[in-house]
Chains A and B, each alone.
Chain A
């Protein structure tokens, strides 16, 4: 199936499918995008295919249509759906914001802002990533802070100051109370919020050069398996119980890997996108080996990838 391209007047940093209720058997048709590097950035909601109708193969023939949008202060560094109606963004201004989507997708409005969630003493500093497990959110930033929030609470729940002396680029939930962060000196750090101390429960890193890691994703079914990608384009799969060596190392890309995702319902499939201009689809054949590779070249440098659950 050929990809459909639509040219819009903004650079997009992140794109995410809106989650649909598991009761419905259809594919999601609504997705959100966040922009960056514009004078006025925005978060926008789009739809593909007609509402409620897509052809039998689940393919979409039409260009995406803009449904609604909202202004966003700062670059959208990360975007996650908290639930069907709420979207969380990480901003380059250091703020974390929640946007509310009207049920008919007619309007998107700012519901809550945690200003200066990430900051230096005098300056603002970008919040680099945010992860949700409703009602909890965790954000990380260039200031090396890890912050825990509850969606309906104004005050943050917990801050781990100086969690890292380098920039934390990405974060993912492992268990309900555990998160895993990756930083720009190539370390994976596990944090347990049940612990009082502000030290990581575990630190993992590749022996060898301290290559910055940019993205991380957890296996949907196995809480101890994570995939990471970094500056050198290497895709690593780790078992966090087993210490310092990933069990799979692949030279996936020739430049920074920006995002890695396990397919949510079919986790033997993995997707990565990179500054080198490609979006790759990986498949495990048996056990834990990653072998086959399907390449889907894209024209520009993709910053983001997100797949629908129930891929055809």
Chain B
């Protein structure tokens, strides 16, 4: 797997690179391409600095950890990141920045210098020693600097030598002049590439003359340097240990034989450099193959090999996405119709989703996969564990913002869980959010059940404050109104209470099963003088209905009710009759 090689690995690059990714997607299509290129290069550099920051942190961890196995794990991860940064940097030079001849070599030199940093450490060591010229690494440092084209620094180190030997100072002066006059192309200057080429050949001939004249015969080191300057491949190759990689050899070779190299010509030199450097015995590693494919400008091969060899979806997904924005990938339709970029981004994001906390980042990646992003998100979002209400709310917000249908099922899960734990208010809250009338009915049934069992309502704070939520389902409306009836009765507002009860039965909101209960509730009301004839009549008819449908109701109750209704009717008639007259 390509994410967490060790569980405690920090992942600052995920959140920071997520931000870079989202920013990249927002770059408008209509911006002129020249401006876009500099933006893309800047984004590429941002990604690379994220990689480097992560490397630094891992390196610190490797140093500070006590455990041997953990330290080596960190070390491995650092190596992988080094390789990734190396490849990314080369891709930036060749594809994103797409430097033309002249600048190309300069960028390649920078690339090599960045990835061969031990030269600086050694140079410091030599210069800070008591007698730099006699330091055992002295000439290695000078030659390494020359190999990297850092001629001014080489001159500086050489000057330590020259001050010592007065008699051979002229030879050192000569070398100093050669190094000093080496032409370096200036892309921002007024000199054209052709003019530079002429100047460079001139200088090259000068170096060659020195060799022919045996100018440096007295000092084999200076002779070696001169041969390097002339671009003698065998001599350069002899510095294998100092070069340490075939691509360093390639760049050095180009520096001293063909500094105006054009991008399409790179691959020939790359191929031969690799063969010459590795020789017949060694075979190229996966990293070498990837770099070679890059020099051959075969982007698809680079991506393919990176996916296989490096086992790091983060890298291929982000790099491919960036290259796609640079319009460098021809849309290769894969079997299922999506393109390469989307495929890799989906893979990466899916992996993020399996991580316990990175799933939130993945959502933005899916958002920017136009073909299958939504489908993937719908499938994945349901698997996020909903440990707390707050997390469920965040998941819901993601669904609601994208009008996904999953919100119904999420609310239902939360509502069911609440109901199981007897949190009726919470359950109702979730039902309201989902506008789930069916579940609201279920909750109401629970309340009514509790009422029938206990004889009183639980959670009055909820029932008394249902507000417009009451209208979500008929059963819920009934519940609210029934509670209101009890309240009215408690406040001695009997006439209103009776009317309410009646309306509940008439409007057929009250479930049939509860009519008997309702009428029983009506019993004490009927004792009250305020209840009118009309109301009593109506209650009587309902009573008849109940009896019709429910054969086995308690006879005592029925009798009581019949009696009460009749008596009340009588009272009402008398009362109303009295008033009328």
A residues adjacent to B (C-beta < 8 A): 7-11, 36-39, 75, 77, 92, 120-121, 123, 125-126, 128, 142-144, 164-167, 183-185, 187, 189, 200, 203, 205, 207-210, 212, 231, 255-256, 275, 299-301
Contacts and interface: CB of A to CB of B under 8 A. Distances in A.
A138 B10 CA distance: 35
B451 interface: no
Interface string B385-401: 00111110110010001
B426 A167 contact: yes
A205 B464 CA distance: 11
Contact of A9 (B12, B424, B458): B12
Contacts of B424: 165-166
Interface string B445-467: 00000000000001101100111
A201 to B, nearest CB: 13
Contacts of B432: 209-210
Contact of A143 (B356, B423, B469): B423
Interface in B1-59: 7, 10-12, 15-16, 19
B423 A142 contact: yes
B12 A8 contact: yes
A163 B16 CA distance: 43
Given A7-B15, A125-B421, A185 B465 contact: yes
What 3 A-B pairs have minimum CB-CB distances, sorted nearest first?
Answer: A166-B425, A165-B425, A165-B459
Contacts of B429: 166-167, 184-185, 210, 212
Contact of B389 (A38, A123, A142): A142
A264 B348 CA distance: 44
B468 interface: yes
B428 A185 contact: yes
B428 A166 contact: yes
A89 to B, nearest CB: 14
A208 B425 contact: no
Contacts of A255: 397, 401
B467 A126 contact: no
Best-buried of A183, A184, A275, A300 by chain B (most CB within 10 Å):
A184
Interface residues of B, number: 37
7 contacts: A36-B357, A37-B356, A37-B391, A184-B425, A185-B429, A210-B465, A299-B19
A185 B391 contact: no
**Which of A9, A189, A256, A275 gathers most chain B CB within 10 Å?**
A9
B360 A9 contact: no
Contacts of B390: 77, 126, 128
Contacts of A165: 423-426, 458-459, 461-462
Given A9-B11, A256-B393, A275-B397, A37 B426 contact: no
A24 B390 CA distance: 38
B461 A187 contact: yes
B149 to A, nearest CB: 35
A165 B459 CA distance: 6
Nearest to B23: A299
Nearest to B470: A210
A92 B168 CA distance: 79
B384 to A, nearest CB: 10
A37 B353 CA distance: 13
Nearest to B459: A165
Given A37-B391, A142-B423, 9 more contacts: A8-B12, A9-B12, A11-B357, A38-B356, A75-B388, A120-B421, A123-B421, A203-B465, A255-B401
B276 to A, nearest CB: 43
A301 B394 contact: yes
B397 A256 contact: yes
A205 B356 contact: no
A9 B19 CA distance: 14
A275 B389 CA distance: 14
B394 A275 contact: yes
A7 B428 contact: no
Contacts of B356: 37-39
A77 B388 contact: yes
A69 to B, nearest CB: 13
Q: Chain B CB within 10 Å — which of A38, A121, A167 has the most?
A: A167
B397 A166 contact: no
Nearest to B360: A11
B257 to A, nearest CB: 44
Given A11-B357, A165-B425, A210 B12 contact: no
B10 A9 contact: yes
A82 to B, nearest CB: 23
Contact of B12 (A7, A77, A189): A7
A68 B225 CA distance: 54
Given A7-B16, A165-B423, A187 B388 contact: no
A167 B356 CA distance: 24
Contacts of B15: 7, 9
Contacts of A184: 389, 425-426, 429
Contacts of B467: 205, 207-210
A124 B102 CA distance: 68
A140 B458 CA distance: 20
B141 to A, nearest CB: 36
Contact of B461 (A11, A36, A167, A200): A200
A123 B421 CA distance: 9
B394 A39 contact: no
* Interface core residue of A123, A165, A299 (most chain B CB under 10 Å): A165
Contacts of A210: 429, 432, 465-469
A185 B394 CA distance: 18
A185 B423 contact: no
A11 B394 CA distance: 13
Given A75-B388, A164-B425, A165-B425, A187 B465 contact: yes
Nearest to A199: B461
A255 B401 CA distance: 10
A39 B356 CA distance: 7
B468 to A, nearest CB: 6
B398 to A, nearest CB: 9
Nearest to B10: A9
Nearest to A189: B461
Contacts of A164: 425, 461
Contacts of B462: 165-166, 185
Contacts of B425: 144, 164-167, 183-185
A9 B11 CA distance: 5
Contacts of A142: 388-389, 423, 426
B428 A38 contact: no
B469 A209 contact: yes
Interface in B82-128: none
Contacts of A8: 12
A301 B15 CA distance: 13
Contacts of A200: 461
A83 to B, nearest CB: 27
Contact of A205 (B11, B459, B465): B465
Given A125-B421, A144-B423, A92 B388 contact: yes
Nearest to A303: B390
B387 A75 contact: yes
Contacts of B401: 255
A218 B7 CA distance: 42
Given A7-B15, A165-B459, A187-B465, A39 B7 contact: yes
A38 B357 CA distance: 6
Contacts of A128: 389-390
A183 B462 CA distance: 11
